[in-house]
Amino acid sequence: MNKIFGYPPTLTPRTTHYCPGCTHGVIHRMVGEVIDELGIRGRTVGIAPVGCSVLAYEYFNFDMFEASHGRAPAVATGAKRSRPNLIVFSYQGDGDLASIGMAEIVHAANRGEKITVVFVNNAIYGMTGGQMAPTTMPNQRTTTCPMGRDVNEVGYPVRMAELLAELRTPGFIARGSAHTVQETIRTKRYLKEAFEHQVAGRCFTFVEVLSTCPTNWGLSPREAANWLEREMIPYYPLGVKKRPDVQAAQEGA
């Protein structure tokens, strides 16, 4: 009998520390499955950020870095440029990537580093206890914007996928979500395409994944999934934002 479904070898047999209803675990699994499907576990190096997924190196079963806050794309640059045969990806949250690490992500993308960035956007700082993130929605309440995000004071949420897609440098940029099975499957396809581009040495690759944070949103998991669909997706539209011109990339243009 063929085994058609099992625990991915790319994940360690550990129970994650993530809260009930958080989609980090699902996103970990999708990344792991893609790496397994591509058969690249033996040459993959992952980079964990600072934030809720700070312990991602405990869950991914291959070589891992723990990076300082926001710098994972710089660490990835150093690793990939030094050993181009490695498959290097960073796994970062919204505080890490869109706030303190804004310079690192934009410049890594602009240099066209041949890395993959998995960006988990749950519109809030999870690990530090629910503070405002650059991606917090307008009027969304957090511990540091208790009256709701005032866009006149702190600006609008940053759309990272669109921002990076604007760069002239070729790249693969997509946004998915992990709040439903259907969107999760679609997101996994984006992740697979991203890693495939990296394996081919093509371009910078970036997949933003909308994620829930029931604990800090103060909602039940089901309510959180609904809130994501209702509040976040209209502002953060899903889909592929940019694809490299594969032919041009292959010709080295």
Partner 1 sequence: MAKVLMKGNEAIGEAAIRAGCIHFFGYPITPQSEVPEYLARRLPEVGGQYVQAESEVAASNMIYGAAGVGMRVLTTSSSPGISLMAEGISYIAASELPVVLVNIMRAGPGLGGILPAQGDYFQATRGTGHGDFQLLVLAPASVQEAVNLVILAFELAEKYLNPVMVIGDGMIGQMMEPVEFPVEGVGPPLDPGDWALTGCEGRERRIVNSLFLDPEACNRHNLKLKAKYERMAENEQRWELYNCDEPYDLLVTAFGMMSRICKTAIDDLKAEGTNVGLFRPISLNPFPYEPCRRVIDRAQRILDVEMSMGQMIYDIQLAAQGRLEIDFHGTAGGVVPSPDEVADKIRESLARIGRSPARKPGKRSAKAAAAQKSKSKRSKKTATAQKPGKRGGKKPQNAGKRSAARQSSARRHGRRSGR
**Exactly one of 19, 33, 36, 65 binds partner 1 (CB under 8 A); which one?**
65
DSSP state of 40: -
Asked if 54 interacts with partner 1 (CB under 8 A), we say: yes
Q: Which stretch binds partner 1 (CB under 8 A): 81-89, 144-152, 171-179, 204-212?
A: 81-89
Asked if 137 interacts with partner 1 (CB under 8 A), we say: no
**Exactly one of 79, 120, 133, 164 binds partner 1 (CB under 8 A); which one?**
79
Distances (CA, A) of 161 to 2, 100, 127, 146: 39, 17, 23, 27
67: closest CA among 130, 115, 10, 1? Answer: 115
Asked if 57 interacts with partner 1 (CB under 8 A), we say: yes
d(CA 107, CA 186): 28
Q: How many distinct helices (H) and strands (E) make up the chain?
A: 12, 7
Nearer to partner 1, 127 or 238 (CB): 127
Asked if 116 interacts with partner 1 (CB under 8 A), we say: no
What are the residues facing 44 on neighbouring strands? Answer: 87
Nearer to partner 1, 53 or 187 (CB): 53
Size of the site for partner 1 (CB under 8 A): 35
By the 10 Å C-beta count (0-12 exposed, 13-18 middle, 19+ buried), 160 is classed as buried
> What string marks each residue from 86 to 105 as x (binds partner 1 by CB under 8 A) or -?
x----------------xx-
In the numeric block, the tokens 């723990």 are attached to 66
CB 232 within 8 A of CB 135: no
Asked if 74 interacts with partner 1 (CB under 8 A), we say: yes
Asked if 187 interacts with partner 1 (CB under 8 A), we say: no
Residues 6+ apart with CB under 8 A from 247: none
**Exactly one of 19, 33, 37, 64 binds partner 1 (CB under 8 A); which one?**
64
Residues at the contact surface with partner 1, assessed by CB under 8 A:
41-45, 47, 54-55, 57, 61-68, 71, 74-83, 85-86, 103-104, 106-107, 111
